[in-house]
Structure 1
Amino acid sequence: MAYEYTLRRRGADKHTLYQLAVQDPSFEVELATRQYRRRRGVPPRILREDFCGTAAVACRWVEEHKENRAIGIDLDEATLDWAREHNLSKLDDASRVDLRQRDVRGLTRPRADVVQAFNFSAYTIYPFPALVSYLRLVRRSLNPGGIVMLDGYGGWEAGQAVSDRRKVKSPDGTFGYVWEQATFNPIDNLATCHIHFEFRNNKTWQKAFSYVWRLYTPAE
């Protein structure tokens, strides 16, 4: 399907585009609160957002309630700096968001009620024993009754080279979001994936984000 877009390529910010096209912080916060409350009978107060990137979820979390606190963990200091400038700066009390530049596999404190690693982030941890080690550390980092939330994907296309395109609305116009699984190796289940953006006048931002990850099956 061919789309027409109104957003110009010049001046576009890839982190802003990613937040608009990929993330839904309000939904993720509501989901975590609902699932935790269903099991514990009380709302969670401490969220740890692993692979937090721009910390959009962590920021939305503290907006939800005055007692909520969040820890955001990511390896990329430049992205965390972007988060501080563009997301934390908009909060009434940014001190309730603790951003840390480090490996998620080396942190068990402070403990959290909910640990989230969405957008297939855990798939970047491989081989399988490394993922198991990470999940064990996550379990140790939870408060009693805490929960960990991951997402996954599957289906017959999961092991193929595929792409998906959709139109996204932004305050400044519309743009295209393209998810591409460029390669997949059925021997080791490693996939190379890219995010591209499309703009007005057929301008593009190729490989704005690229990932190599290991496709884990539901059985695993």
Structure 2
Amino acid sequence: MGKREKQKQKHDRTQRGRDYYLQENDTAQPFSSTSTLSPADNEEEEEEAIDDADSDNNNNEQHPSHDMPSKFLLYQQSVQSPKGDISYLQKFFLMYVGGRVPLHLQEDFCGTAFLSTEWLRSDPRKTAIGLDLDLEALTWCLENNIPKIGADGFSRISLFHGNVLQPLQSKLVEMDPEELVRNISLSQNTENLQVDVLESDVPTSSSAQDDKLTAKNFPMNGRDIVCAFNYSCCCLHKRADLVLYFKHVRDALSTKGGIFVMDLYGGTSSENKLKLQRRFPNFTYVWEQAEFDIIQRKTRISLHFHLKKEQRKLRHAFSYSWRLWTLPEIRDCLEEAGFRSVHFWVREMPDTTEITRTEGFGAGKDIKYEETTSFQQQDSWNAYIVGVA
């Protein structure tokens, strides 16, 4: 067998390993958004499985397998549902601003900018800006998400590496133009096969070193919508920082009017140690919430993935230190930052003490959010908070 045939065989095996995890995901959502995670039905077995993953995960990081899916891909499949979020974003804009079609989106704490890239698909006039501190996630987006949009994708989205508290100092993420052209071509040729690039295949990218390519000096339209999803505002622990962030958002919105939308979860179960899991065909997603400090209102959230095919676990694939804000606190901070009105859209989630283990996308995904000014405490709830400028 010739060298070229051997390389092709190896490539085909790699592609099969990737495809195993690639499935349509129009309905998956964060655990408190529109899907259901269920309590681990055997805590001792679950603990043992996750604890055993420590050494496996360390080995995975040192010797990445070409068959191992990216943690960003697993996150997108199990946590995010950009189509559902975008549907609500457009609805909120038409309700509270109206008069025009929203075209310009900014996604803060964007990670892999999965929502931003989905935003671009429906209208060639749409643009998106993503901002995040994680350069690795932004790079993964450039390599995996944007090429699937088409040849004009890179001209309609700008990703910035920086802090949401200092957005104008963030740097445009750049890559080799020849590499980007190659990726677009590969994506167009393999889109029907739903093939993704592994993390180990991602070339080095960096934030722009030229100060001219900071957000301060980068031409951008006033945003119609700014969003911060996946409970990202809980990463800001101080009230002063939350108000400062909301002021930056207010400044970024169009002078013609715009909205800011964030999500938040709560309920009695949110202030206790908690572990929930959700089965997918090829992996299990585990949400682990540590003890809750009632004085600082802080907890630590860890996301784990149990991979069935490899019989491996990615422990602490993502970990966050969160302050769990209350709805009135968020409203007060938005008003202090200059938003003229604040609206709450809330939905009750299944009771964590009663739900049973589910397969696939879980139960209750069709329950809708409703606007309300009063909501009685429940075991678990999720909310969209809309600030109107």
TM-score, normalised by the number of residues in structure 1: 0.90
In the alignment, residue 187 of structure 1 is paired with which amino acid? I
Alignment of 1:211 onto 2:350: no
Counterpart for residue 190 of structure 1:
298
Counterpart for residue 249 of structure 2:
138
SS of equivalent residue, structure 2 residue 271: coil
Deviations 1:3-43 (A, max 9, x none): xxxxxx95121000000000001111111112112231422
Counterpart for residue 147 of structure 1:
259
Counterpart for residue 206 of structure 2:
none
SS of equivalent residue, structure 2 residue 327: coil
Deviations 1:116-149 (A, max 9, x none): 1000001101211111111111111111320000
1:196 and 1:204 in contact (8 A); partners too: yes
2:289 and 2:302 in contact (8 A); partners too: yes
SS of equivalent residue, structure 2 residue 247: helix
Counterpart for residue 5 of structure 1:
none
2:119 and 2:128 in contact (8 A); partners too: yes
* Runs of 4+ off more than 4 Å: none
1:192 and 1:212 in contact (8 A); partners too: yes
Counterpart for residue 115 of structure 1:
226
Counterpart for residue 162 of structure 2:
102
* Equivalences for residues 48-197 of structure 1 within 5 A: 48-92=106-150, 93-94=152-153, 95-107=155-167, 110=220, 111-143=222-254, 144-169=256-281, 174-197=282-305
In the alignment, residue 194 of structure 1 is paired with which amino acid? S
For the residues of structure 2 that align with 1:219 and 1:30, how far apart are their CA atoms?
Answer: 25
In the alignment, residue 204 of structure 1 is paired with which amino acid? K
For the residues of structure 2 that align with 1:88 and 1:49, how far apart are their CA atoms?
Answer: 14
1:199 is displaced (CA, Å) by 2.1
Bigger Cα displacement from structure 2, 108-117 vs 157-166: 108-117
User: How many residues in Structure 1 have an aligned counterpart in Structure 2?
Assistant: 210
List alignment gaps of at least 5 residues for structure 1. Answer: 3-8
Bigger Cα displacement from structure 2, 100-109 vs 82-91: 100-109
1:47 and 1:115 in contact (8 A); partners too: yes
1:178 is displaced (CA, Å) by 0.6
For the residues of structure 2 that align with 1:168 and 1:142, how far apart are their CA atoms?
Answer: 38
1:50 and 1:74 in contact (8 A); partners too: yes
Q: Which of 14, 17, 21 is the aligned partner of 2:71?
A: 14
Bigger Cα displacement from structure 2, 43-52 vs 27-36: 27-36
1:112 and 1:146 in contact (8 A); partners too: yes
In the alignment, residue 105 of structure 2 is paired with which amino acid? L
1:183 and 1:193 in contact (8 A); partners too: no
TM-score, normalised by the number of residues in structure 2: 0.52
2:165 and 2:241 in contact (8 A); partners too: no
For the residues of structure 1 that align with 2:139 and 2:283, how far apart are their CA atoms?
Answer: 25
For the residues of structure 2 that align with 1:54 and 1:200, how far apart are their CA atoms?
Answer: 24
List alignment gaps of at least 5 residues for structure 2. Answer: 1-40, 43-64, 169-215, 330-389
Bigger Cα displacement from structure 2, 58-67 vs 106-115: 106-115
1:215 is displaced (CA, Å) by 0.5
1:191 and 1:213 in contact (8 A); partners too: yes
